[in-house]
Amino acid sequence: MPEAGEARAPRKGLTLALAGVAALGIWFMPLDLPTPAHHLAAVFAAVIVLWVSEALPIAVTALLIAPLIIVTGVTDAKAAFAPYADPLLFLFVGGFFIARAMTRHGLDRRIAAALVSLPGVAGVPSRVRAAFMLAGLALSMWISNTAATAILLPILLGTMGVSLDPPKTTPTGPEARAATGNLLAVAYGASLGGLGTLVGSPPNLIAARFIREAGVDFGFVQWLGVGLPMALVLLVLLYLVIARTHPATELPKLSEMAPLHSKLSRGEKVTALAFGLAITGWIVPGVAKAAGASWGAALATALPGGAVALLATIPLFALREGGKPDGTNERVLPWRDAVRIDWGIIMLFGGGISLGKQMLDTGLAARLAHGIVAVTGVEGVWSLTALMTVFTIFFTEACSNTASANMLVPLALAAAADLHVSPLPPALGVGLAASCAFMLPIATGPNAIAYATGRIPQRTMLGVGLVLNILSALAILLLLRLLSSLYGWTP
């Protein structure tokens, strides 16, 4: 019997061939498109196949976008590669450095422990579950939702007195059902926390980047005004759904919370300083500008998000963590540790911007959007927002949320332009919905980590996830409509 890798190899080969066939089919198809848009459509078809199938690592596909649009004559090298150094990418680089330092020194676990140990929480199963969900939300607003889940799930399993190793068979019974609910609540809560800030999840930055390309100033503070209330509303819905389907009966122990009672290390203090500098630099310029302060616009220009993120990391690289018992005195974030951040996500972000920008510049996005509008019959901003939101949620079940946002935000913007409506609701609908895929283990990192514990039956994730997908789509639409009236986005 062939090994799993051997069985997958032919399928990957077939998928790569399918990507080539799709590209060639579009290339030679008699389409009524300008030559650059026609050639870009062929590249776009291949990229969709590769991103959905993951026949190549999605970051590798993203790196290939620029060379492909150069050799096919869509644009020149300078325009194709420029998005890989887009200023917003460096917001992620700095954010990842801070997150790496938090993990290295245990500040993330201390934050989680503090939330779970709040007065009135310990000993009450439903409140402990809610505290873990809040911990996941709080952490994933600043570090990746996958990292937040990876931090919290071992702590959660430890408090339930179960091993980290997956059981040979899926446990059953009321206690096992409660444990399944706890795992789902934490994983899904971490996904929702990513909605809260601009750095919380890649789709947020992608949506904000393209919204700014459309001529609307949309930065850290503006996203906070949308993402945070959205995350909180969806977290409440998540809690209610899990409480209904998987009541909390298991009493967690707090023996795993020991880091809370230890003294802050120098590394934690320096990391907290960098974290505080970043948050201050991201929020203050936007607030000052929104408040009409005379110096607000100048400060916002001098402190863009990417510059703030990198400047805030200076203490991590300049200061040392203090002598340890073994005599070492390293920098708070040694470079060998810093380089272990997820560069693939950064390249994926850059490749997506490059592809999306050319879709807008060549007019391909406008033509595709016009076809979507004609086929679906959408006529207004809210029917378009509903279409894009629902499609994004279910499309992301089979595709990376970053790839989904890269492909769909430009289409949402182009469709809004075709209908002469505000681009904000449909673009934000895509950006938010891309983090709300809950049905399949492959949909998000948190889903995969929770499922890998062996304590969540596939049918359970499908059933609970479907309910949450539907509720998320409705909540996004209703809250965007409310916020649109409040912020004056639509007439």
Predicted confidence (pLDDT) at residue 369 exceeds the cutoff of 80: no
Are the C-beta atoms of 191 and 198 separated by less than 8 Å? no
- DSSP letters for 341-355: S-HHHHHHHHHHHHH
Q: What is the pLDDT of residue 313?
A: 93
Q: What is the pLDDT of residue 349?
A: 73
Predicted confidence (pLDDT) at residue 7 exceeds the cutoff of 50: no
What is the C-alpha to C-alpha distance for residues 127 and 450, in angstroms, rounded to an integer?
20
Predicted confidence (pLDDT) at residue 6 exceeds the cutoff of 50: no
Tell me the angle at which helices 401-419 and 424-433 cross, rounded to the nearest 10 degrees: 160
What count of other Cβ atoms lies within 10 Å of the Cβ of residue 441? 17
Instruction: Report the range of poorest mean pLDDT among 170-174, 279-283, 464-468.
Output: 170-174
Between 238 and 89, name the one with better pLDDT.
Answer: 238
What is the C-alpha to C-alpha distance for residues 143 and 332, in angstroms, rounded to an integer?
18
Q: What is the pLDDT of residues 69-111, one digit of tens each?
A: 999 999 999 999 998 888 777 877 887 788 788 878 878 777 7
The set of residues, in sequence order, having a beta carbon less than 8 Å from that of 124 and lying 6+ positions away, is: none
Between 453 and 257, name the one with better pLDDT.
Answer: 453
Are the C-beta atoms of 247 and 179 separated by less than 8 Å? no
Q: What is the pLDDT of residue 67?
A: 95
Q: What is the pLDDT of residue 477?
A: 94
Q: Coil, strand, or helix at residue 4?
A: helix
Predicted confidence (pLDDT) at residue 476 exceeds the cutoff of 60: yes
Q: What is the pLDDT of residue 2?
A: 38
Length of the chain: 491
* Surface-to-core class of residue 234, CB atoms within 10 Å of its CB (0-12 exposed, 13-18 middle, 19+ buried): buried
Q: What is the pLDDT of residue 230?
A: 93
Predicted confidence (pLDDT) at residue 486 exceeds the cutoff of 50: yes
**Residue 324's pLDDT band (boundaries 50, 70, 90)?**
low
For the CA atoms of 346, 435, 307, 65, the dihedral, rounded to the nearest 10 degrees, stands at: 30
Quote the tokens at residue 335: 């470079």
Q: What is the pLDDT of residue 353?
A: 79
Q: Is the dihedral of CA 120, 126, 128, 129 positive or negative?
A: negative
Q: What is the pLDDT of residue 479?
A: 93
Are the C-beta atoms of 480 and 472 separated by less than 8 Å? no
Q: What is the pLDDT of residues 108-160, one digit of tens each?
A: 777 767 766 777 776 677 888 888 888 888 888 877 777 677 777 766 766 66
Predicted confidence (pLDDT) at residue 293 exceeds the cutoff of 90: no
What is the C-alpha to C-alpha distance for residues 414 and 422, in angstroms, rounded to an integer?
11
What is the C-alpha to C-alpha distance for residues 404 and 43, in angstroms, rounded to an integer?
16
Q: What is the pLDDT of residues 155-174, one digit of tens each?
A: 676 666 555 555 656 666 66
